[in-house]
Amino acid sequence: MLTQVSLEHILLLSAALFTIGILAVITKRHAVVVLMGIELIFNAANLNLVAFSRHDPQLIQGQLFSLFVILVAAAEAAVALAIVLRVYQHFKTANLNQIVSKEG
């Protein structure tokens, strides 16, 4: 009964999450919130991979790919937050617009 979720509905959910991530990346000024938007985009992509992996006759290639995506996302988040911390120590702000205007 639980398995009857159609593929299109999962893809639509993933499209909605992707859109929310895009919106966060475009409209937010704080660097950390932009990172959260990027994480949402990664999640949307993972949802697609897992959804198609359910029908994969060669068994769970999509799930393996989504595992690697999660791994790369974790590495990206660590490095990006380290950069944000350095930028905050240097400019005394994590606001992207102020950083751009300070650098000229």
- Contact by Cβ (8 Å): 84, 31: yes
> Residues binding other proteins: what is the number (CB under 8 A)?
75
Q: Would you say 20 or 104 has its CB closer to other proteins?
A: 20
Residue type, 24: A
Residue 99 near other proteins by CB under 8 A: no
Which region, left, alpha or beta, applies to residue 92 given φ > 0 means left and ψ of -120 to 50 means alpha?
left
Residue 59 near other proteins by CB under 8 A: yes
What is the rounded CA–CA span in Å between residue 36 and residue 104? 26
Residue 54 near other proteins by CB under 8 A: yes
Residue 90 near other proteins by CB under 8 A: no
Residue 45 near other proteins by CB under 8 A: no
What is the rounded CA–CA span in Å between residue 53 and residue 46? 10
Please give the DSSP secondary-structure letter assigned to residue 92.
S
Residue 13 near other proteins by CB under 8 A: yes
Residue 31 near other proteins by CB under 8 A: yes
Q: How far is the CB of 30 from other proteins (least distance, A)?
A: 4
